[in-house]
Every structure is written in C-alpha cells, then in structure tokens.
Structure 1
Amino acid sequence: MPSTRSESIAEVARWRRRGRSRRGLKLRSFRLQVMLLVGALLAGMLLAQGAYLNHRKAEIIADQIGQRALSVALSVASIPAVIDAFDDDDPSATIQPIAERIRRETGARYVVVGDDEGIRYAHPLEERLGLPMVGGDNDRALIHGQSYVSEATGSLGEAIRGKTPVFDADGNIVGIVSVGFMLDRVELDVVEHTSLGWLLVALMIVFGFAGAYGLSRHLKRVILGLEPHEIARLAMEKEAILQSIHEGILAVNHEGEITLLNQQGRRFLDLPSEREVLGQPVQDVVPNSRLMEVLDSGERQFDQEMWLGDHPVVVNRVPVMHEGEVEGAVATFRSRREIVDLSQALSAVTRDVDMLRAQAHEFSNKLYTISGLLQLDRVKEALALIHQESERAQAQMAFLMGHVADPVLSGTLMGKLTRARELGVLLEIDEQSSLSVPLTLHGQEVLMTVIGNLLDNACYAAVQGIGTPSATGLDADAGPRQPRVRLFFTDLGEQLLIEVEDNGPGVPPEQIESIFSEGFSTKPGKHRGIGLALVSRLCQENGGAITLEDSELGGAGFTVVLDKTLCREPSVSNV
C-alpha cells in the first residue's frame, strides 16, 4: 500500500510538470502562432495576387511583342520596292537589303520574306536564302490572306512571329513576310518588367509579418497577457461563480443595456430566462433602478435600500472603469429579510450570552458573599442569605411554572429577570400574566424575539431615566428613582397580548412615527435600529400589530398583539 501511494503521488507530480510544460509552450508560442497565422494568410493573398498580376503582365508584354512583330511585317509587306521585286529575276537582291535594314532598326531577331511557295527571298543568314521557310504556319497567310501572330519553332529557334501576305497591284498573293522575336528574349523582357512587382510583393510580405507581430503583441496586451485556454477557463469559472453566489448581480454597458444577470438576480426580478432581458434597457426591466445615475456620475453607491416587486433588498452599485472612462455599471443586491433574520439570530445568541454572563456574575457575587460570611464565622447569616436566594429563585420558578406553559419562554423570562437584576432594574411580571398553552416552534422563536427586544429596550430606557423626575410628578421631590419595567402577557381571548412598560424618559412625539423604522434608534453608536423594526415585522407577518403609548410608570408602553396560531392546539383527552 505505501508503494502504491508513492507511485500515485509521483504520477500526479509528473502530470503537473507536463501541464506546466504545456502551459509554458503555449505561453511562448501564442505570439508566434498569431504572427504565423496572420503572416501566412497575408503572404498567401499577396503571392496569389502577385502571381496573377505578373502573369497578366507577361501576357500583355508577349502580346505587345507579337503585335510589334506583326506591325513590322505589315510595314515590310507594304513597301512598293518589296512588292515590285517579286517580278524581278533575282528578288533577293532587292528584298534582302531592305529586310536586313528593317531588322536592325526594329530589333527583330529576323525578317524573312518568301514567295507564294514559302521560298526565302530574305533571311538573316544569307546561306539559307532560296530554302523553304520552317514552322509550318504559313497557310493562313498564303492561302487565306490573313495577317496574324503565331508562336512556333523556326530555323533560328522558338519565336513569336508576325506573319502577313504580300499582295501585288492586282490583289494577288505573291509572297509572305515573317518577323520574329525569340521567346528567350521575350522571357527576359518579361522578367525585367515583372521583377519589380515581385520585389514589391516580397516587401509587402515582410511588412505583413512585421504587422502580424505587432498585432500579436497588441492582442497579448488586450487580453492582459492571458492565453486563450486561460481566458476560456476564467470565463467558465466566472460564470460558475456568478451563478452560484447568493447575491443577485446585474450588469449594464455604457448605454444602460443589460449585459449580465445571474440566476439569483432572475429570482429577485421573477424572470424566467436570462436571454429575455439581455440587451434590454435596464429601466424597462427594473423601473426604479439607479444604475443610470452611476453611469452618468461614475460614483459608487453602497447599502442602498429598494424594492424589487414586493421584496426589500439592499443594493450596492459600482461603475466599471477603463482608462478613466465609465464603460458600464454593476449592481449587487441581497435580500434585506435575510439580513434581518441574521440579525435576529445574532440577537438571540447575544441574549443567551448576556443571560449566562449575568447569571455567572450574580452567582459569583453571591458565592463571594457567602464565602466571606463563612470566613467570618457568620454561619447563620450565610444560611439566611442562601435561603433568601433560594426562596426568591423558587418563587420566580414557581410563578413561571404555574403561569407559563411553554418551557422555552420560561427560560427566556428567567434570563431577563437575571439580566435586569444585574442592571439594577426592577423587572416585574404582572401576576395576571399567563400562557396556558405551549407555543409552536415558530411561536417560540417569535415570542423570544418580541419579548426579548422589548424588555431589552425597556431596561435600557429605565436605566437612562435614573435621576430624572417622574413624568407623573408624584416623586419629583424624592430624587433619583429605581428603574422599573413591567411585563404583562396573556393568551386569553382570540389573540396573544403582550405589554411592556418602563419608567424611562419615554419617546419624544417627533420620533413616534420613526421608532419602528429599520436603522432608526435613540441609542448612540452604529448597527442600531434593528430590534423594534424586527418586532414590527414579526407582528405584521403573524397577524398582529405593535402600538406605542404612554406608560402608567411614566415612560413608554408597548402593546403587541399576535395571532394565536403561534400556540399549539390544546390536547383533548379521550374519556
């Protein structure tokens, strides 16, 4: 087994090294691949175009030389001395000098004149005079009387020849004139005239490869130095990340058109498919969106609240910048209800921690006191203190056990009583309070949140009211008073009723309308204004309401009404 494991690890290491080698090769060859691809394509196009143009140029040059040969032949055939010489006893004596002079002046390879049977009267080589003309292409001129250009192999080699018949005064064909330019000389002329074109093609190919190299470097910069396979992998990873995150994401371009919407965003907007909104103006899809403001100003917006349909969300909006210009904007939005639920969970944990801390602090003080009495040999006083604490705890437990049927709510109230004693607040639970039916799991969560937040706020307000005169004026001369909080709850009737009062300073009239708004708080510091807003939302979600009025104790009094469905159905015993 260890050997197999070692071999597996070694194989993985070799695979990773090969992967790095392949990636290194790709990194080194990307620019070369782009340069070769673009350069080869450009070179192929230039070579094809150059070949075609030079071929056409060669054809034009050859045709011009042929027409030149034909023009010379027509000129010779129209010379009167040449025509009259055909009636002489020795035509060559007259025609040969004329033909040679014209040959030298025109640069032709040969000017041959023959009779109607193709016997030479003029030829560059005098020893060939009187011999038949070679090539076998005289019939069109001698028989049909045509003037034409031909390409054939004569006695001097392969040439382009212009041929025309010689007519006498009566229009009869008495001879033929053939003017030729050798093909090798024609090819030299073609090469001379097309070499410049091929040189330009070569230069254009060199510049094309240089441009391809520059293009490859530019593309490398544009794609941030990444390889194509890396870009593909990043695109897939980005898509997977966008679709898996819990926040909704909406992106627009500089014209305000939607370019990206992830799966969570579609759920918030209640859209069946992403394709239906891509390319659409964001104002048509999200009428109250403020992304256009971000596009215009380029400023970021954080923790903005808005509604998507009937769903409250918290939105962050940031511009997409490129070289100092706004290219688009991205909005991320998260359900505000989830944030409130998270705050609720944190509040529950904080309450538990506070309860444990308060109990630990209280019992620590009591233990220190008992320890001191025992050290002073005051056993009776120590026992009396123990009995006093035991009786008070038993009285509280007996009251809660007798009046509260739900153990979770009883535990919450015990913790709040302990916390109130630690703060120096007298927390009174009305003797008429009762909860005769246990709560459902949801009901336990709701009542723990509602009663916990209300008691925490009441204790804070009562402590803040220390040293202030009573609102009723009854103890105005008595100086500082003890902070007091009173709790009443009952499940009698059709609904659950909860009342929490304190003797604090109360709520100013100008703040009554805002006291249940999320983020508003009379307490100093950040991250406040959640408790009462959470209580208000829970009341609305559970068929109830919360109201604020003046307390009989002189401070604020909160009354909460909840639907009785939070309680379990009473069990019916079969007799």
Structure 2
Amino acid sequence: MSSRRTEAIADLQRWRRARSRRSWLTRSFRLQVMLLVGALLAGMLLAQGAYLNHRKAEIIGDQMGQRALAVALSVASIPELIAAFDDPDPSATIQPIAERIRRETGARYVVVGNTESLRYSHPLPERLGLPMVGGDNDRALIDGDAYVSEATGSLGEAVRGKTPVFDADGEIIGIVSVGFMLDRVAMDVGEHTSLGWWLVALMIVLGFAGAYGLSRHLKKVILGLEPHEIARLAMEKEAILQSIHEGILAINRDGQITLVNQQARRFLGLAPAREVLGQPIQEVVPNSRLLEVLERGEQQFDQQMWLGDHPVVVNRVPIRHAGEVEGAVATFRSRREIVELSQALTRASRDVDMLRAQAHEFSNKLYTISGLLQLERVDDALALIHQESERAQAQMTFLREHVADPVLSGTLLGKLTRAREMGVSLEIDEHSSLGTPLTESGQEVLMTVIGNLLDNACYAAAQAEHREDAEPRVRLFFTDLGEQLLIEVEDNGPGVPPPQAEAIFREGFSTKPGKHRGIGLALVSRLCREHGGAITLEESELGGAAFTVVLDKSLCRDITAVGALSATHFKEPR
C-alpha cells in the first residue's frame, strides 16, 4: 500500500512538472514569438540553402562531365593518336599521349580503346590490352555519339566523357573515355557548397537574434503582458463596460462610433451594438457634442443635458496618441435617481414642515390659552378657542367642498399652516375647485407642482426689502373645468427679471442663495411636458410673479369609475 502511494505521489509530481513546463512554454509570449519566427526563418533558409546547394552540385557535376567530354573530344582529334591505330603496337604511341593529357587535365584516367573496347591506354600499364569496364561504350562505337555518363569502371564510380575516334574516311576506329571519380566530384561540390551552408547557418543565428529582439519589442509594446493576460483583460474590460452604471460612447477621428456599452444604448434607445458601430455620431446622437471635443481637443466635465427623457451629467474627453487627437469618449450618468430622490425629500420635507408648523402654531396657541386661564380670563380663552376652531373649520370646509382629492387637500392644508408660520398670507381663490379625484400619478404630479410653486411664491413674498408695509401675499387658483387642469400661483414678491424668465426653468439655475438649488422649477417644467402641458411666467396683479400651469386631464380619474364617491374627506374634530 505504501509503495503504491509513493508511486502515485511520484506520478503526480512528474505530471505537475510537465504541466509547469508546458504552462511556461505556452504562456511565455516572448519565447513563443522567438521560436516561431526563428523556426520559420530557419526552415525557409534551410530549404532555400538545400535547393541552391543541390542545384550547385548538379551544375558542378555537369561541368565535370562536360569537362571530361571536352578532354575526350580533344584526345580523339589528335592526328598522332588517330594514326597510331594503324601501328602494329598502338599502345606505344597512344599511352604516352594519354598519360600526358591526363596529368595536365587532372583527370583520373584517359583511356583509349579500339572498336572491340580493348585498351590502348590506361593509368595502370598492366591493364593495357584488357577490355574496358562499364558497359557504356555502345553509343560511341555503334551510334557514333559523344556523351557523358556515370558508371563503375575498373577504378571505381566515375563521371565519364566518351567520344568515338574517327579515321580520315569518317569510320569509327576506336573510343576515348575520360573519367573523373565521383568522390573527387563530391569533394569539389563540398568545397564549393560549404560556404553556402556557413552563410545559411549565420543567417539562422542572425534570424534567431532578430526574433529575440522582435519578441522583446512586442513584449514592451504590449506592456509586458502575456496573450492570455491580454485576453483576460479584454474580457474583463468588456464585462466592466457593459455592467457599469454609466453610459460610455466613443468615436474615432472620423467621427464614427467605435464603442457603445449597454447602458448608453439603454439611455439613447439605440439598436444593438453591431448595428451602431461604425455609424457617424451625428446620425445616431446628434446632440452628443463629441465632434466639438474632437475638433478643439478640450475636455468637458460635469455638463448637464437631457438625453430623451433622461437627465444626465456628461463628461467628454479627447483620446490622444503622440500628441494628436485620435478620437473622443463621452461618459454620462443618469440624474433621474437624483431627481427621484429630490422628489422624495421634497415630500418628506413638506410633511415635516407641515407637522413642525402645526406643532409650533398650536404650541403658541396653547401657551396663550394657558396664560389666559392662569389669569382667570376664561371667557377670553374660550373666545380664542372658538376663533381658532372656526378658522380651521372654515379651511377644512372650503377644502371639503372644493377639492375632491384627499391627498391634495392635505397638501394644501399643510401649505396654509406653513405660510402662516412664515408670516405670509396664503389665499386660495374662492372659485377654485377640483371636482374629480386624482389618479395616483396625478396626486404625485399635483403635489410636486403645487408644492414647489407655493414654496417659491412664499419665499419670494417673504422678502421684505422690496416693499415697505405691504403684507406678504400669495394667491392660489386651480380648476379642472374644461379639457385641462389649470393652476395659477402669484405673489407680491420682487418678481423675476426679464433676462432670467427662461433660465429659471433650467436645471441648476436658482435665484436663491446656497448650493443644491435650481431643481424645483426644472422639475415642474419637465412634469408639465411629460403630461401634455406647459408652464408660463407672467407679471402678477399683486406685483410679483405669476406662474400658470396647464396639465392634461388624464391625471384625474374617470368620473364614471368614481361612482358615488363621498364629497366628505375631512371630518370635523370632536
């Protein structure tokens, strides 16, 4: 059992070492590039060198054959040699001539034979008179051809030039064979091709050196990353771009879209990325202003704008390479969450202000009643109680009779209390009426619209520096008679200067001091546009500003669905 465990551990260790080696080899980009480029270059050089050297060997061998044939033709044309064929002993004349020519030309042998292939000359004198070996004399002796052949003779394998010997009448009387041994030819080929192989080897070494330099350069260009790391980073970047909450839109120097993430497509209502990429930015998002960044090369941060019905904050920056602007990228994040949070805070603040105002007001009244009772002025205390009760009863009676929606009635009651606390006289026009309850969205819209307009009006009316003794006044009128909802809020404040008449509806603009202002009127304006209406600004009869809001009647419930809705929404306190 122990031996098996030891073998298993050893196998596991060998597998890990092999895997580590494979992993290192496959992950080293520089080594991969060097080996790939070097091996490719070495293969090309070796193939080319082998072909060229083989071709050179063929040429050298052919030249040696032609040289042997030329020597044979020269020997066969010597008159003394031709005349010697008629001598009783031809070898006596032919052998010295053949040996002299053999030494001068460097041939291995110069053999001259008669028509029966009997030798008249040979480097070895003892072989004179013996038949020639090789069996390749027929073309010369029968056909009369001069040719080059390779055959194995008495001295070994040789490349031989053979030619017939003709007499004065043109008759074949013999044959001349001049040979160069193949090992000598191979030696000559090796001498002539060795330089080529050395050059190939040198080029392979230089090729690997260049491949190493190229791999180092590529490794530097890709910041020292391995291919699998680049792939992982690319996948991570794509996942991040598609998952972040901000929209991203990028263009190249030609103004064509090169990147758009999922959030940007959702904000802009774009088609799938494959249909958008490569399209001109002006055709897809005309108000992106990325072309301005591309032309000027200037950065733009925290720019507010609307994309469809989304309020967004946009950052635009140029993409630079080697000092040149190669493109531009815009990132934008939605401000809808901020607007929704602002609405929630406005509602919470409104409720808190209403409760605080009521607590403050009733605390003062209780202190007054307590003082009167301590002074034993019971009748005065009772008169004050009846006065406050009648005033509250009058307000609730008016709201009960003129406002059919309980949520709006509660909002107006809170604003009345808040205005009294600020020292502002808030009047609701006696002809105001809302005879139909609101839908849930209608309640949200009217609470936001009336709440913001009354808050701004009370703030403006409470500014006393523009008047001397006039009482701060705000007047509200609303009606659902006709095809639309109409709301008018006016005050006797300082009004809105004409140059600011349009700017006050822009998000972020405010005449009030302090930060985080300029949301209320912008929000009211957007709600009016979303619900088929509008908001206008005029000069009030009271001397200040008058805001008129028109909304679609779809914010009210269908009167037939309301049925026998009771008109009583507030019960008198007991």
What TM-score, normalized by structure 2, do the two folds share? 0.83
2:557 aligns with 568
1:346 aligns with 342
> 1:400 Cα deviation (Å)?
3.8
Specify the code of the residue in structure 1 equivalent to 2:349: V
Sequence identity (%): 76
2:435 aligns with 436
- The CA deviation string for residues 76-125 of structure 1, in whole angstroms up to 9 with x for no partner, is 11111111111111111111111111111111111111111111111111
The answer to which of 428-437 and 170-179 deviates more is 428-437
Residues 23, 237 of structure 1: alpha-carbon distance in 2 compared, 3 angstrom cutoff: farther
The answer to which of 481-490 and 438-447 deviates more is 481-490
The answer to which of 66-75 and 427-436 deviates more is 427-436
Aligned positions of 1:56-455 closer than 5 A:
56-244=55-243, 248-263=247-262, 265=264, 272=271, 274-286=273-285, 290-303=289-302, 315-332=314-331, 339=335, 342-353=338-349, 355-356=351-352, 359-360=355-356, 363=359, 378=374, 391=389, 396-397=395-396, 399-455=398-454
> 1:487 Cα deviation (Å)?
2.1
Aligned positions of 1:505-516 closer than 5 A:
505-516=494-505
2:465 aligns with 467
CA distance in structure 2 between the aligned counterparts of 1:141 and 1:307, rounded to whole angstroms: 103
> 1:418 Cα deviation (Å)?
4.3
- The CA deviation string for residues 135-191 of structure 1, in whole angstroms up to 9 with x for no partner, is 111111111111111111111111111111111111111111111111111111111
> 1:482 Cα deviation (Å)?
4.5
> 1:484 Cα deviation (Å)?
2.8
Secondary structure in 2 aligned to 1:467? helix
Secondary structure in 1 aligned to 2:94? helix
> 1:300 Cα deviation (Å)?
2.0
Q: Is the 8 A contact 1:119 1:131 kept in 2?
A: yes
Specify the code of the residue in structure 2 equivalent to 1:467: E
- The CA deviation string for residues 42-65 of structure 1, in whole angstroms up to 9 with x for no partner, is 211111111111110111111111
> 1:506 Cα deviation (Å)?
0.9
Residues 423, 347 of structure 1: alpha-carbon distance in 2 compared, 3 angstrom cutoff: farther
Residues 551, 279 of structure 1: alpha-carbon distance in 2 compared, 3 angstrom cutoff: closer
CA distance in structure 2 between the aligned counterparts of 1:467 and 1:260, rounded to whole angstroms: 55
Residues 421, 96 of structure 1: alpha-carbon distance in 2 compared, 3 angstrom cutoff: farther
The answer to which of 121-130 and 486-495 deviates more is 486-495
Specify the code of the residue in structure 2 equivalent to 1:229: H
1:530 aligns with 519
The answer to which of 75-84 and 283-292 deviates more is 283-292
Residues 145, 526 of structure 1: alpha-carbon distance in 2 compared, 3 angstrom cutoff: farther
Q: Is the 8 A contact 1:31 1:220 kept in 2?
A: yes
Q: Is the 8 A contact 2:26 2:32 kept in 1?
A: no
Secondary structure in 1 aligned to 2:487? strand
The answer to which of 505-514 and 282-291 deviates more is 282-291
The answer to which of 58-67 and 211-220 deviates more is 211-220
> 1:330 Cα deviation (Å)?
2.1
> 1:26 Cα deviation (Å)?
6.8
- Does residue 32 in structure 1 map to residue 12 in structure 2? no
Residues 422, 43 of structure 1: alpha-carbon distance in 2 compared, 3 angstrom cutoff: farther
- The CA deviation string for residues 524-555 of structure 1, in whole angstroms up to 9 with x for no partner, is 45554332233233223333332322323321
1:499 to 488, 494, 499: 488
Secondary structure in 2 aligned to 1:349? helix
CA distance in structure 1 between the aligned counterparts of 2:386 and 2:103, rounded to whole angstroms: 148
Q: Is the 8 A contact 1:305 1:312 kept in 2?
A: yes
> 1:312 Cα deviation (Å)?
8.2
Residues 348, 372 of structure 1: alpha-carbon distance in 2 compared, 3 angstrom cutoff: same
> 1:442 Cα deviation (Å)?
1.4
CA distance in structure 2 between the aligned counterparts of 1:253 and 1:210, rounded to whole angstroms: 38
CA distance in structure 2 between the aligned counterparts of 1:256 and 1:294, rounded to whole angstroms: 11
Residues 546, 294 of structure 1: alpha-carbon distance in 2 compared, 3 angstrom cutoff: closer
CA distance in structure 2 between the aligned counterparts of 1:308 and 1:360, rounded to whole angstroms: 39
> 1:563 Cα deviation (Å)?
2.6
> 1:278 Cα deviation (Å)?
3.6
The answer to which of 383-392 and 290-299 deviates more is 383-392
Secondary structure in 1 aligned to 2:74? helix
1:8 aligns with none
> 1:340 Cα deviation (Å)?
5.7
Secondary structure in 1 aligned to 2:107? coil
> 1:247 Cα deviation (Å)?
5.3
Residues 232, 195 of structure 1: alpha-carbon distance in 2 compared, 3 angstrom cutoff: same
Secondary structure in 2 aligned to 1:347? helix
- Gap regions ≥5 residues in structure 1: 1-16, 470-475
> 1:403 Cα deviation (Å)?
3.8
- Does residue 551 in structure 1 map to residue 550 in structure 2? no
CA distance in structure 1 between the aligned counterparts of 2:174 and 2:369, rounded to whole angstroms: 159
Q: Is the 8 A contact 1:348 1:449 kept in 2?
A: no
- Gap regions ≥5 residues in structure 2: 1-15, 566-574
Residues 369, 155 of structure 1: alpha-carbon distance in 2 compared, 3 angstrom cutoff: farther
Residues 134, 45 of structure 1: alpha-carbon distance in 2 compared, 3 angstrom cutoff: same
CA distance in structure 2 between the aligned counterparts of 1:104 and 1:375, rounded to whole angstroms: 154
Q: Is the 8 A contact 1:160 1:181 kept in 2?
A: yes
The answer to which of 209-218 and 427-436 deviates more is 427-436
Q: How many residues align?
A: 544
Residues 568, 377 of structure 1: alpha-carbon distance in 2 compared, 3 angstrom cutoff: closer
Specify the code of the residue in structure 1 equivalent to 2:547: F
Specify the code of the residue in structure 2 equivalent to 1:349: L
Q: CA RMSD in A?
A: 3.8
> 1:66 Cα deviation (Å)?
0.9
CA distance in structure 2 between the aligned counterparts of 1:80 and 1:419, rounded to whole angstroms: 145
CA distance in structure 2 between the aligned counterparts of 1:196 and 1:389, rounded to whole angstroms: 125
Q: Is the 8 A contact 2:372 2:381 kept in 1?
A: no
What TM-score, normalized by structure 1, do the two folds share? 0.83
